[in-house]
Amino acid sequence: MTLHTIILAAGKGTRMKSTRPKVLQTLAGKPLVRHVLDTCAAIGADSTVLIYGFGGQMVKQALAGYDIIFAEQTEQLGTGDAVKVALPHLPTTGKSLILYGDVPLTTENTLKQLVAANTAGISMLTLEVDNPFGLGRIIRKNEQVIAIVEQKDATDAQKAIKEINSGIYCVDNALLHKYLPCLTNDNAQGEYYLTDIVKLAVADGVEIATISPEFDFEIEGVNDRIQLANLERHYQAHQIRTLQHAGVQFADPDRVDIRGRLRCGQDVFIDINTIFIGEVSLGDGVQIDAGTIITDSTIGNATHIKPYCVIDGSNIGSDASIGPFAHLRPQTLLADNVKIGNFVETKKTTLGQGSKINHLSYAGDSEIGREVNIGAGVITCNYDGVNKSRTIIGDGAFVGSNSSLVAPVNIGNNATIGAGSVITKDAADDKLTLARSQQVTIDNWHRPTKKT
């Protein structure tokens, strides 16, 4: 059996008050529709047809790299019309999941269950809610689904029903090809309702299977900024609870954001106002202090990230100490027992085991050996205005405070650089190298005074 997905993403999202299509608004740092597409990829869909409308070019650009068939809905004539646009791209065999670009959090597990439930031709996702206002009601007879009625078309008795239609279906492609051309717009909104395929299927004796999602937020859609913010909080709380069940301790679960995937070992502690972006992995016993932002990085066991650090695209070993106020830029590789202190910035730099850069320094395009000590205010001058060059510092070297290492340059093993030096040539192993101008005292010099 082949499995296809149809994603409805043509809505403008007027209530968002944005120049961007609704499906490109972000949740957890990622466009809504990309959440849906990534879930489709996870369940192994054979093809995906995305129905676009407003801002179609922006949608196509934002989804470059995905294997998608784009189909345009030129007029907003309802969900049934939107799915009908996909028919030319849909085989008559196999099954299709019908999903929505503004319903981003339906889980892989729920969609797999929905596909498995489709044994007779149609399965659908429903949920009982306390306040069903505005949503389509599931009409049953002898416990079997016989119809779906929209709010505007419902009688008072039907409005009292609490089981609602999510709009998410798994349908045999043969039935889509059969029923979609038969839809009419004879209803209060003058639209072609996708829900009417259920009525047509029931008339043909097709039994409609239903399942419910594990979490209510899986069927929540987004129409305005308030709903988007509420869904963000539901999603963040769900991720935090999952990590708490796995043993992670949060100082305050409401003040952490995970905008990607966070993997944690045992006995991890995460303080307030921390943000994790992309793929982040924390080893056993890691402590992340307040205000830290970590993007696409790996942090080894028992490492301590002190407050207000920014770590991006970096790999940090075990038993390291980072910060406070450190900035590790992409391609920073730190071995075990490394110390990066206050207001230190690194970029495309490796530090060997036990090395230290404690204060107010910059190491860029550098290869730094083991047990190296970099003093306060040291910089690697890696850019000449046109080209980047590397600085190599051997094991056991000591670089005195306020020194400038003008790349390309090599500092030898166990070399010592005197404080305040500007090093433009290689420094020998086991030697003290100085590069300072002669100190002078100027007689008859007077400090400037303030002009009146």
Detail the residues annotated as belonging to a binding site: 8-11, 22, 73, 78-79, 100-102, 136, 150, 165, 223, 329, 347, 362, 373, 376, 382-383, 401, 419, 436
Residue at 295: amino acid letter: T
Residue 348, Cα to own-chain centre: how many angstroms? 23
Binding residues for UDP-N-acetyl-alpha-D-glucosamine: 8-11, 22, 73, 78-79, 100-102, 136, 150, 165, 223, 329, 347, 362, 373
d(C-alpha 146, C-alpha 212), whole Å: 17
Binding-site residues for Mg(2+): 102, 223
Quickly tell me which residue has 């016989």 as its tokens: 146
CA contacts within 13 A on the Cβ side of 173? 18
Q: Which helix (H) or strand (E) holds 350?
A: strand 345-351
> Counting every residue, how long is the chain?
452
Quick check: 87 and 69 in contact, CB under 8 A? no
Q: Convert 319-340 to b/e letters by CB count within 10 Å (16 or more is b).
A: bbbbbbbbbbbeebbbbbbbbb
- Return left, alpha or beta for 305; rule: phi > 0 is left, psi -120 to 50 is alpha, else beta: beta
Tokens 């981003």 — which residue?
Answer: 104
Q: How do beta strands 304-305 and 314-316 pair?
A: unpaired
Rounded Cα distance between 7 and 31, Å, is 14
Q: Which residues pair with 264 in a beta bridge?
A: 282
* CA 174/CA 204 separation, integer angstroms: 13
Rounded Cα gap, residues 423 and 251, in angstroms: 46
Annotated binding-site positions for acetyl-CoA: 376, 382-383, 401, 419, 436
Distance CA 8, CA 266 (A): 41
**Alpha helix (H) ranges present in 73-207?**
79-84, 108-117, 156-159, 173-179, 196-203
Residue 27: what residue type? L
Is the separation of the CB atoms in 425 and 445 below 8 Å? no
Catalytic residues: 359
User: What is the widest separation between alpha-carbon atoms in the chain?
Assistant: 108
Amino acid at 422: V
